Structure 1
Amino acid sequence: KVIIYTIVSQVFLLSSISIVVGILLTYGTALILPDEMPFSLDTKLVVVYALLLLVVSILSSLISVRKITKIDPLQAIGRME
Structure 2
Amino acid sequence: MTQLDVRDVRPMNRHPTIHDGFDDLEPGETLTIVTDHEPKPLFYEFQAEVERFDADGYEVEQRAPNEFVARFPKRDV
TM-score in terms of structure 2 length: 0.28
The structure, 1 or 2, with the larger RCO (C-alpha pairs under 8 Å, 6+ apart) is 1
TM-score in terms of structure 1 length: 0.27
Q: Which has the higher helix share?
A: 1
